Structure 1
């Protein structure tokens, strides 16, 4: 009994004869009616040869030769399907070899079967390459808006720092400068988080269509993701609030008791616990968007899908983060050097702490351009890996490939020939 939700992403819906029944099984179209046998006609007798053994007129059909059954070997368990039996199951006309399993159907960027690491990464890159008309405008516009706001906020933030760095600055001015700095940083982080949420929501819809081999547009992605945006914001805020509260419970007692060892111990407990929770709920965002669920149901779905495969998802997520960080560093570094040597007076000006070396428009705009380019490339890659991890886990646990095949319009997928 499969109680998992269906594939809620838009796509070609199955015909009435192929819609799932109430018990979760797919209804197959009724076979065409056979012509009635004429009564008393000797040509229609019970002595007809079995199907598949009709011979040409005037020839005698040869008796079928028994085929030797292969023994279980090379990891094959007794009772498993033998060679040539995978064709009808995957909509494939026949097995390519005696022992070869035919490739799974691939209507879009991934094959409809459990995915490996390389297929998940390749699927994310293939979506960016094939559907770039929808992917790049989304990330480019959001990254540009975020960086423009960040540059403006940092400009005034660095001005306050320059004032506070003077020799005759009193304690009150110093406290005000620190407060404005913290407030400006909070505004920048909030804008970046909000932009990331919008990108994640829209790209989730683009990747869900790419799995089915369907094209997307920016307007389609926005229309399909907009109803779930507020819930996605709530989910993100709950995760951030949970991380802060968990750190406060573990670290704050040591700080209040003026016990450095206790505070350090709480911090060392907080980090791995935070990583465990982050991986446990890493699939909550695609579950929320694609299943049209509520925030708490999305947390529960992610926990269920990750259960038993935490280390695998952790490894793939960590590798994706490392790749994204390396790509971002390679793109931003030249613009950072340009900011230092062309607009900030070089390393000597930075070492002297000159305000002009930090708050000039050129020094702020140059690295911002690098960040725009980097985020335009990195954000869809990371979002795509998360969505494909969600699809992979549902294929492994819930047989989502059957629903995806029907949504993609593949006929006879998952049926056995007979």
Structure 2
């Protein structure tokens, strides 16, 4: 069985949930020099965009909890924040999908030149990222639909890069993959988000509160330090989530479409084809 060892970044076989997380961590580790700096820039822009909305909503660092007299403004803030996360993860997913695709074709040769536009389909990638953000914004206005929207969008970037489909078909492709095998891919994406959400909350709140309790952080520094801490934590969390998306997408295709057979044949023959045409089983 090819790539059956647990240390492989992307083994060509169905994986357990734990192995999916391990593969995503390995993918992030191998490409952190590119993914984390890009994520930090995007996370900083997100914090700048959310800053005036937080002022209007009366949300203060580090936890940015709501105030009951400004709940409509806070709800709008949450929707914009969800949209920003959707856009950022989709943009980073363009990078992680290409990295994961290269690992599949040649496991001994990590992806290079992830920031080069060749093969990135940048206009389509940007459009699908904006579409993902729009879906998350609308879904977040109807709060329970946030979970549904986030769960179904994990494969939009991989579908653009590896399936070479258009933006609207990528949305449909992502939703159908997420719902296969009892919604397994959707559940793993939600699980990954919850884990990283708890880590982000713990780190951000713990850092600011701990420094303040120790007398090392004056009240007027809560805002800049809070912004910095959230930028740093998101700068790791967002590429980690994008790596989960790439791994889950490929594993779903291995599990349901026989992608492992196609890739193994491509490795042996030197074919440039990474994946079979989207939607074929």
Q: TM-score, normalised by structure 2?
A: 0.70
Taking the aligned partners of 1:141 and 1:329, their CA distance within structure 2 comes to 21
Residues 93 and 245 in structure 2, CA contact (< 8 A), matched pair in contact too: no
Q: How many residues align?
A: 254
Tell me the equivalent position of 2:276.
Answer: none
Taking the aligned partners of 1:243 and 1:184, their CA distance within structure 2 comes to 12
Tell me the equivalent position of 1:309.
Answer: 181
Tell me the equivalent position of 1:333.
Answer: 205
Residue deviations 1:336-378, cap 9 Å, x none? Answer: 2256455774xxxxxxxxxxx4xx4x32232233223322332
Tell me the equivalent position of 1:199.
Answer: 92
Taking the aligned partners of 2:138 and 2:197, their CA distance within structure 1 comes to 27
Deviation at 1:194? Answer: 4.8
Q: How does 1:217-366 map to 2 (within 5 A)?
A: 217=112, 220-223=113-116, 227-242=120-135, 271=144, 275-337=147-209, 340-341=212-213, 345=218, 357=219, 360=220, 362-366=221-225
Residue deviations 1:129-164, cap 9 Å, x none? Answer: 3x1xx32443234314532673597389759x8xxx
Deviation at 1:238? Answer: 2.9
1:379 aligns with 2:276: no
Q: Structure 1 pair 375/229, CA: closer, same or farther in 2 (3 Å)?
A: same
Residues 203 and 383 in structure 1, CA contact (< 8 A), matched pair in contact too: yes
Q: How does 1:62-101 map to 2 (within 5 A)?
A: 90=1
Q: Structure 1 pair 145/232, CA: closer, same or farther in 2 (3 Å)?
A: closer
Tell me the equivalent position of 2:10.
Answer: 110
3-state secondary structure, aligned to 2:129: helix
Taking the aligned partners of 1:372 and 1:115, their CA distance within structure 2 comes to 32
Residues 90 and 156 in structure 2, CA contact (< 8 A), matched pair in contact too: no
Q: Structure 1 pair 183/297, CA: closer, same or farther in 2 (3 Å)?
A: closer
Residues 235 and 295 in structure 1, CA contact (< 8 A), matched pair in contact too: yes
Q: Structure 1 pair 281/334, CA: closer, same or farther in 2 (3 Å)?
A: closer
Residues 5 and 11 in structure 2, CA contact (< 8 A), matched pair in contact too: yes
1:401 aligns with 2:260: yes
Larger radius of gyration, structure 1 or 2? 1
Residues 139 and 149 in structure 2, CA contact (< 8 A), matched pair in contact too: no
Q: Structure 1 pair 234/276, CA: closer, same or farther in 2 (3 Å)?
A: same
Residues 108 and 210 in structure 1, CA contact (< 8 A), matched pair in contact too: no
Tell me the equivalent position of 2:110.
Answer: 215
3-state secondary structure, aligned to 1:114: coil
Deviation at 1:281? Answer: 4.0
Structure 1: gaps spanning 5 or more residues = 1-89, 92-102, 162-177, 249-266, 346-356, 412-418
Q: How does 1:133-172 map to 2 (within 5 A)?
A: 134-144=31-41, 146-147=43-44, 150=47, 154=51
Tell me the equivalent position of 1:124.
Answer: 24
Deviation at 1:216? Answer: 2.4
Deviation at 1:110? Answer: 2.5
Deviation at 1:386? Answer: 1.3
Deviation at 1:192? Answer: 5.9
Residues 207 and 387 in structure 1, CA contact (< 8 A), matched pair in contact too: yes
Deviation at 1:123? Answer: 0.6
Taking the aligned partners of 1:300 and 1:155, their CA distance within structure 2 comes to 34
Deviation at 1:409? Answer: 4.2
**Richer in helix (by share):** 2
- Cα RMSD (Å): 4.1
